[in-house]
Amino acid sequence: MEESLEKNAEEITTLAASIAGLREEKEAHDGALDDARADQAKARSVVAKAEKKIKKAEKTLEDKAGTILPVIHFQFPQTWDIFST
């Protein structure tokens, strides 16, 4: 009985050491995962800002097209068929 207790205590000590090593490894992986998530968040922010600029530029072009196209249409009768459809 005493022998099996010593054997179990030895096994528990070995497993505890293994768990400690695994916890350290997990913490390292968690740190890398947090860094990757931060990088992804930065990339999403950059993309969102770029999309906002593009939409603003598109809106500006649409606004200008509304004032420029009628002038072109009036000055160049050959475009009347193109813009009438």
- Buried b vs exposed e over 59-69: b needs ≥16 C-beta within 10 Å? eeeeeeeeeee
Tokens in use for 44? Answer: 């999403």
pLDDT tens column, 37-85: 999 999 999 999 999 999 999 888 877 766 766 666 666 666 666 655 5
Compute φ and ψ for 76, nearest 5 degrees. Answer: -125, 90
Instruction: State how far the Cα of 33 lies from the Cα of 31, in Å rounded to an integer.
Output: 5
Instruction: State how far the Cα of 79 lies from the Cα of 81, in Å rounded to an integer.
Output: 6
pLDDT tens column, 8-31: 899 999 999 999 889 999 999 999
> How confident is the model at residue 71, as a pLDDT?
66
Q: How many residues does the chain have?
A: 85
In the chain, where the domains are located? 2-84
> How confident is the model at residue 37, as a pLDDT?
96
